[in-house]
Amino acid sequence: MSDPVTTARDDATLTITIARESRRNALNADVAAAIMAALDRAESDGGIRAVVLTGAGERAFCAGGDLQPAADGAPFSIDAADPRHYVAALLRRMNDCRLPLIARVNGHALAGGFGLVCACDLVVAREDALLGVTEVKVGLFPMMILPFLLRNTPNRVLMEMCLTGEPITAAEAKPHGIVNHAVPAAELDAKLGWLLARITDKTPTGIRLGKQSLAKIREMSLDAALEYAPFMLANMAQTEDAREGFAAFVEKRPPNWTGR
């Protein structure tokens, strides 16, 4: 049996590819486990500065749960008495990722696939890729991914998508901030490379601690956040990267980040 996910490293970037092209890169427990394992490896490798998540081929980024009869990973197989679902585990792991996580949307991202897009930090997409939640068409609602849809999709846009089940293109999603960049298919990798170059030359320590802080502040009250923020800023200022960044600024030279 072929691997459900493949990985490839290019300098400071690790690309994770869902490799179920014949199933439109649909999610199942093996795919989720493989993505989580790849994120673990990326974080343990001090040389990785960013992670890209994409799908094999050109048709689909990820079509969500497999709806073929008796398919592994079908949403109709969920046990209501067991909250430990693989999609929830994957979304938690993506949310906790300390590295910048970029979705390379090479094709349609629907249902749980759109959830994966919304769980990434940044999104570069083909302008003609369809994004949406089609669950209402099969008697469901996008329950598992709602926290991430709410985080990245304006309320009335989200309501229309959820209630009609009709997708929108990445080009249509761009003005709403759902994706960062929507480009012709031929320009997808060039735009992705442009974005990665502007991320991987920045402080890995500042980004790692900043992402951790952002995740916590998102859930805090204003008073709690304003108490937490100065504490984290003071700690970040003591890191080697912060000292190096300031020295490089004063000396008018590129910084040499250590990741510490």
Q: Is residue 259 part of a domain?
A: no
pTM of the model: 0.93
Residue 2 pLDDT: 82
Is pLDDT of 83 > 90? no
Give SS3 for 254: coil
Token representation of residue 208: 């790692």
Q: Is residue 21 part of a domain?
A: yes
- Pair (97, 157) in one structural domain: yes
Domain that holds residue 216: 204-251
pLDDT tens per residue across span 184-210? 999 999 999 999 999 999 999 999 999
Confidence of residue 66 (pLDDT cuts 50, 70, 90): confident
CB 8 within 8 A of CB 17: yes
Say which residue, 70 or 178, is predicted with more confidence.
Answer: 178
Question: How many Cα neighbours within 13 Å face the side chain of 163?
Answer: 6
Q: How many domains does the chain fold into?
A: 2
Q: Is residue 260 part of a domain?
A: no
- Pair (163, 46) in one structural domain: yes
Residue 65 pLDDT: 85
For residues 46-53, average pLDDT: 96
Is pLDDT of 70 > 70? no
- Pair (157, 226) in one structural domain: no
- Pair (142, 104) in one structural domain: yes
Please provide the average confidence, as pLDDT, over all residues in the chain: 93
Q: Is residue 217 part of a domain?
A: yes
**Boundary of a domain, candidates 178, 199, 220:** 199
Give CA–CA dist 242/166, Å, rounded. Answer: 46
For residues 52-65, average pLDDT: 96
Least confident of 72-81, 146-155, 228-237: 72-81
Give CA–CA dist 71/22, Å, rounded. Answer: 13
Give CA–CA dist 153/44, Å, rounded. Answer: 32
Which domain CATH number covers 19?
3.90.226.10
Q: Which residues are catalytic?
A: 135
Residue 171 pLDDT: 98
Helices 240-251, 204-218: axis angle to 10 degrees equals 120
- Pair (132, 219) in one structural domain: no
**Boundary of a domain, candidates 199, 225, 241:** 199
Name the nearest CA neighbour of 4 among 43, 36, 32: 32
